[in-house]
Amino acid sequence: MSRRVAQLPLWLWVVALGCAWAIAFAGVQARPVAPQQPASPVKNAAPATKSPAPAQQAPTSTATYVGDSACATCHEAAAAGYNRTPHHRAVDPRTPAAAKSCETCHGPASEHIADPVNKSLKKFKTLPAEQVNATCTTCHNRGEHVLWDGSQHESRGLACTSCHSIHTPKLATGQLKDTTQIQLCATCHRDKASKVDRSGHMPVREGKMQCSTCHNVHGATNVKLLRKGDSIAELCTTCHADKRGPYLWEHAPSRDGCVTCHDPHGSSNERMLVAKQPILCQRCHVATRHPSTVYDAATVGAGANPSVRIYSRGCVECHSAIHGSNHPSGQRFIR
């Protein structure tokens, strides 16, 4: 079949970007966002302190820095937690500890020291997500985090503190609010997390992989927040390079996207297939004879008329080169 070139109007996205630039540069004035009611945490962690929540007020310009030893006088547990984290590594000039320590993020505390009840500092448990994120991305705006703005999680109102804890992390790596990555991600993505318990699964529950092995939750150029490559197949073949090809005889779903046939999070079927063979294959192959035969209970291994096309590993027992073949007669992937 010949190849036709699809049309996507150039003017459409140029106009879209141009409008966006115009808005940005038109000098639309934005009023400061007023502090909202306290935000509910996605994952409940042990409270760092039992002091009552003070009323929210933005620090005034007369507040001055007092040093973290003053903070620790009252916020002993929070200080202890912070001291155990990379944020406290003062030798690193990029850390809060090398700057104003607690006050780097929470703001100058002199007025809060004088009036703890009525002059509160930035309390990240109650700040709107965009303010939390703005604080964190003052420093965390490179590397893994450069594409956070507009990413799937950011656009849904998640804050950095939805997943990370500065003072009381349960997992040191990444300062996560849960003991493992998958438990944290399961808070919202429960169905994906439960799939690792299926018989066909990646080595996640064995501790050899985790969600961030494939996904960059902070933003990515690839689809589905995949951290490598520019397509699903490119991500999968960073490890499964044996499926990369290029083959002489190619199998279309293997080239166009591994998830056509496989569920990367887990499946009850062999090789993490989305459905059992031959039914999976019969969803695309409708011809005469065995591709379209009904393989019912009579044809299973324990049936009256067992067929190799349904028991054991089904179609790929013969069509074993299913991802592609370099045999001259490999058209049907049997050689």
Partner 1 sequence: MTTAMQRILAAFATTFFLAVPAAGLAQGTPTTPPAPVPSVTVGGADFGLRKTNATGDAARYERYRDMGDGAYLNQFQLTRENANWFFDGGANNVGRQDQRFFGSATKPGRIRVWGMWNQIPMVMSVTTQTLFTEDIGGEPAVFTIPNGIQSQMQAAAPAARPAVFEANSLTFDTRSVRRIGIGGFEYLPSRDLTVRTTLSFTEREGTLPYGGSFGHNSLVEMPAPIRQSLTDFDSSAEFVRGRWLFRGGVLGSWFQNAVSQVEFDNPFQATDLTGTPSRGRLSVAPSNSFISANGMASVRLARRTRATAYVSVGALEDTGAALMPQTINAVNFPTIAPLPRSTVDGAARTSGVNLTFTSRPARQLDISARYRLYDYDNRTPVFVLPQRVSYDNTPGAATYTALGGVPSPAIVETEPFGVKRHTLDADVRFLSTRAGTAGVGFTRQVEDRAHRFFESTAENTVRLTYDVVGMSVFSVRTRYEHGGRRGDVTDAAQRALFNIGEHPEVRQFDIASRDRDRITVLGTLTPFGSLSFSGSVAAGRDDYLESTFGLRDNTHRVYTAGLDAVPRDNVNIGLSYDYERYEAIMRSRSVSGATSPTMTFEQYMAFVPPPTPVAGSAIADPRYDWGNTGAERVHSVIANLEILRIRERLDLRFLYDFNRAHSLYSYSTGSNIPLRTLPEDIDPAQTALPPPTQLPLVKQKLQRGTVDAVYSLTPRLGVGASFWYEEYRVSDYTLDEDANPELVRGSAVLLGYMYRPYTARTLWARIIVNW
* Residues 250 to 289 in contact with partner 1, rule: CB under 8 A: 250, 252-253, 255-257, 260, 268, 270, 275-277, 279, 282-289
Q: Which of 58, 115, 118, 296 lies at the binding interface for partner 1 (CB under 8 A)?
A: 296
What count of other Cβ atoms lies within 10 Å of the Cβ of residue 117?
A: 10
* Residue 208, Cβ density class (10 Å: 0-12 exposed, 13-18 middle, ≥19 buried): exposed
Q: Which of 43, 122, 140, 164 lies at the binding interface for partner 1 (CB under 8 A)?
A: 43
Which amino acid appears at position 276 of this protein? K
Q: Which of 66, 132, 247, 262 lies at the binding interface for partner 1 (CB under 8 A)?
A: 247
Q: Which of 72, 78, 155, 264 lies at the binding interface for partner 1 (CB under 8 A)?
A: 155
Strand pairing partners for 171? 176
> Given the complex with partner 1, which of 112 and 266 has the nearer CB atom?
266
Is position 123 an interface residue for partner 1 (rule: CB under 8 A)? no
Interface with partner 1: number of residues (CB under 8 A): 151
Q: Could you say which residues in the range 74-113 bind partner 1, by CB under 8 A?
A: 89-95, 97-100, 104
Q: How far is the CB of 134 from partner 1 (least distance, A)?
A: 8
Q: Which of 122, 140, 164, 290 lies at the binding interface for partner 1 (CB under 8 A)?
A: 290
Q: Which of 70, 72, 74, 139 lies at the binding interface for partner 1 (CB under 8 A)?
A: 139
Q: Which of 129, 225, 226, 235 lies at the binding interface for partner 1 (CB under 8 A)?
A: 129
Judge contact between 298 and 288, C-beta under 8 A: no
Q: How far is the CB of 241 from partner 1 (least distance, A)?
A: 4
Per CB under 8 A, which region of 5-13, 54-62, 114-122, 210-218 contacts partner 1?
A: 5-13
**Range list of β-strands (E), the chain:** 249-250, 324-325
Q: Work out whether strand 249-250 and strand 324-325 pair parallel, antiparallel, or are unpaired.
A: antiparallel
Is position 13 an interface residue for partner 1 (rule: CB under 8 A)? yes
Per CB under 8 A, which region of 56-64, 113-121, 210-218, 327-335 contacts partner 1?
A: 327-335
Return the CA Rg of the chain: 28
Judge contact between 319 and 333, C-beta under 8 A: yes
Which amino acid appears at position 308 of this protein? V
Q: How far apart are CA 83 and CA 101, in angstroms?
A: 10
Residue positions counted in the chain: 335
Tokens 């992390």: give the residue: 169
Q: Which of 51, 60, 156, 224 lies at the binding interface for partner 1 (CB under 8 A)?
A: 156
Which amino acid appears at position 194 of this protein? S
Q: Which of 87, 181, 206, 225 lies at the binding interface for partner 1 (CB under 8 A)?
A: 206
Is position 316 an interface residue for partner 1 (rule: CB under 8 A)? yes
Judge contact between 141 and 155, C-beta under 8 A: no
Q: How far apart are CA 137 and CA 146, in angstroms?
A: 9
Is position 52 an interface residue for partner 1 (rule: CB under 8 A)? no
Q: Which of 128, 164, 171, 174 lies at the binding interface for partner 1 (CB under 8 A)?
A: 128
Judge contact between 258 and 265, C-beta under 8 A: no
